[in-house]
């Protein structure tokens, strides 16, 4: 019986997800489908992972300057955006007297 027929879901995080996904691939070769319903077995999935590990997990760290730039841009831009749209909303909408009273209480 094929792995994809046994389980409704195969999951993992990182390496487990890659190996788990390769184990549930259906064999499309009509000649060997009955004898081997899975395209991959654990040994083939493990070999693939070991051979391709450098391509799967690429080390691409940002420099501290780039990290700080994006952090300040996103945090600063997000903060300014919230401020701008809040000001715009409150300037365009008229509030009744209860809202002004509530603002004075707060």
Boundary (domain end) residue, out of 16, 31, 56 = 56
Q: Please tell me whether residues 51 and 89 are part of one structural domain.
A: no
Mean pLDDT, rounded, for 101-106: 70
Full DSSP string of 82-97? HHHHHHHHHHHS---H
Q: What percent of the chain has pLDDT over 90?
A: 0
Residue 70: predicted pLDDT: 86
Residue 29: predicted pLDDT: 79
Boundary (domain end) residue, out of 18, 37, 56 = 56
- 6 touches 26 (CB < 8 A): no
Compute the distance between CA of residue 22 and CA of residue 45 in angstroms, rounded to an integer: 6
Residue 55: predicted pLDDT: 81
Q: Please tell me whether residues 40 and 20 are part of one structural domain.
A: yes
Q: Please tell me whether residues 88 and 50 are part of one structural domain.
A: no
On the question of pLDDT at 40 being above 80, the answer is no
> Containing domain of residue 69, as a range?
64-105
Q: Please tell me whether residues 41 and 69 are part of one structural domain.
A: no
Q: Please tell me whether residues 52 and 91 are part of one structural domain.
A: no
Q: Please tell me whether residues 88 and 49 are part of one structural domain.
A: no
Number of domains in the chain: 2
Query: Model confidence over 56-92: pLDDT tens digits?
Result: 777 667 788 888 888 888 888 888 888 888 777 777 6
Compute the distance between CA of residue 38 and CA of residue 57 in angstroms, rounded to an integer: 26
Compute the distance between CA of residue 43 and CA of residue 23 in angstroms, rounded to an integer: 10
Q: Please tell me whether residues 39 and 71 are part of one structural domain.
A: no
| Reported confidence tier of residue 47, pLDDT bands at 50, 70, 90 | confident
Q: Please tell me whether residues 52 and 7 are part of one structural domain.
A: yes
Residue 3: predicted pLDDT: 66
């Amino acid at each position: 019986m094929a792995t994809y027929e046994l389980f409704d879901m195969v999951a993992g995080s990182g390496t487990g997800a890659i190996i788990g996904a390769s184990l549930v691939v259906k064999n499309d070769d009509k000649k060997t489908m009955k004898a081997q319903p899975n395209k991959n077995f654990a040994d083939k999935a493990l070999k693939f992972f070991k051979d391709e590990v450098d391509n799967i997990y690429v080390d691409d760290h940002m420099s501290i300057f780039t990290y700080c730039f994006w952090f300040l841009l996103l945090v600063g831009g997000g903060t300014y955006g919230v401020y701008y749209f809040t000001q715009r909303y409150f300037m365009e909408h008229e509030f009744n007297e209860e809202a002004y009273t509530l603002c004075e209480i707060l």
